[in-house]
A = this chain, B = another copy of it.
Amino acid sequence: MSVLDRVVLLSGGVGGARFLDGLSKVLGPESLTAVVNTGDDFEHLGLYIAPDLDTCMYTLAGLADEARGWGLAGETFRAHERLAALGEDAFFMLGDLDLATHLARTEKLRRGLRLTEVTAELAAGCGVAHRLLPATEEARPTRITTLERGEEPFQDWLVRHRAQGTLRAVRYAGPDEPTPEVLDALERATLVLLAPSNPYVSIDPILTLRGVRERVAEKPCVGVSPIVSGRAVKGPLAEMIRALEGVEASAGTVATHYGALLDGFVVERGDEAPSCAHVLETSIVMKDRADRARLAHEVLAFAEARFG
Contact = CB atoms under 8 A, between A and B. Distances in A.
A50 B167 CA distance: 45
Contacts of A81: 100
B101 A86 contact: yes
Contact of A125 (B85, B110, B122): B85
A246 interface: no
B96 A83 contact: no
A102 B45 CA distance: 10
Contact of A96 (B76, B122, B125, B126): B76
Contacts of A107: 45-46, 88
A82 B122 CA distance: 11
Interface in A29-69: 45-47
Contacts of A122: 86
A99 B86 CA distance: 12
Nearest to A48: B46
Given A45-B106, A87-B121, 9 more contacts: A45-B104, A45-B107, A46-B103, A46-B110, A76-B78, A76-B96, A80-B100, A87-B104, A88-B107
Interface of A: 45-47, 76, 78-83, 85-88, 96-97, 99-101, 103-104, 106-107, 110, 121-122, 125-126
19 contacts: A45-B104, A45-B106, A47-B103, A76-B76, A76-B96, A78-B96, A78-B97, A79-B97, A79-B99, A79-B100, A83-B100, A86-B101, A86-B104, A86-B125, A86-B126, A87-B104, A87-B121, A88-B107, A99-B99
